[in-house]
Amino acid sequence: MTCSSEGTEKRLRVGVVVAILSILAIVAVPLVLAGCRAPQPADRAPDAEVTIAAPDAQSEGQAAADPAGTKAETEPDTEPDAEAGSAPDEQPPSLADGTPHDVTAADFDANVLGAEVPVLVDFWAEWCGPCRMMHPILESLAEKYEGKLAVTRVDMDVAENRSLAREYNITGIPRILLFKDGEIVGDWTGVSPDMEEQLADAIDRALTK
């Protein structure tokens, strides 16, 4: 009986040790495996530098409607302005600048009949003494009515101007005609002592009508 009791006690001790080792093995093995496990994607922190937010529907619609919209907003408009770059319509120079001007049959319609101001026309020739007497009078009137009256001269010795002599029945010179809106409003032949006063009165009336 003594031997039998000791054997039983030894078996109990062995059984306890085996049980303890089994418990330790059950607890320790998962811990060891957990320590060796590679980190899963859920355990990793997101990388903020490479995160790209998906565009919303409104942004996608704007980009599809105007793919060059961003470029148009950021780049300056380098195209020339059509209105700024275009040259204005050239206008004929005004003859109402305070000095007498020579006109011919070629430009008579534009400079006399189409003028926006009254025009005094002197039909003359170099060989005509009374015609030369008119020159200072014409210069004085041109200066006096600068900006309001155009003073012009037609040389009757120029062949192309003879058509004007026929058209306006120029039979003697100096012949002075005053035009307004393409119509004759004054007509003088020859030179008189009060010629400048006569012309000035007629010019004043033409300007006030």
d(CA 136, CA 181) in angstroms, rounded, equals: 26
Catalytic residue among 95, 96, 131, 178: 131
Residue 131 phi/psi, 5-degree rounding, is -65, -40
Of the candidates 152, 91, 83, 142, which has an alpha carbon nearest to the alpha carbon of residue 121?
A: 152
Token pair of 125 as six digits? 């020739």
Catalytic residue among 105, 117, 128, 185: 128
Indicate the burial class of 98 (C-beta count within 10 angstroms; 0-12, 13-18, 19 or more).
Answer: middle
Token pair of 5 as six digits? 């009791």
Contacts of residue 117, defined as CB under 8 A and 6 or more positions apart, other chains included, come to 94, 96, 147, 148, 149, 150
Which residue in the block uniquely carries the two structure tokens 């012309």? 199
Which residue in the block uniquely carries the two structure tokens 């012949």? 175
d(CA 110, CA 183) in angstroms, rounded, equals: 13
Of the candidates 168, 177, 107, which has an alpha carbon nearest to the alpha carbon of residue 138?
A: 177
Question: In DSSP terms, which residues pair with 180 in a beta bridge?
Answer: 183
Whether residue 131 lies in the annotated active site: yes
Whether residue 3 lies in the annotated active site: no
Catalogue the active-site residues. Answer: 128, 131
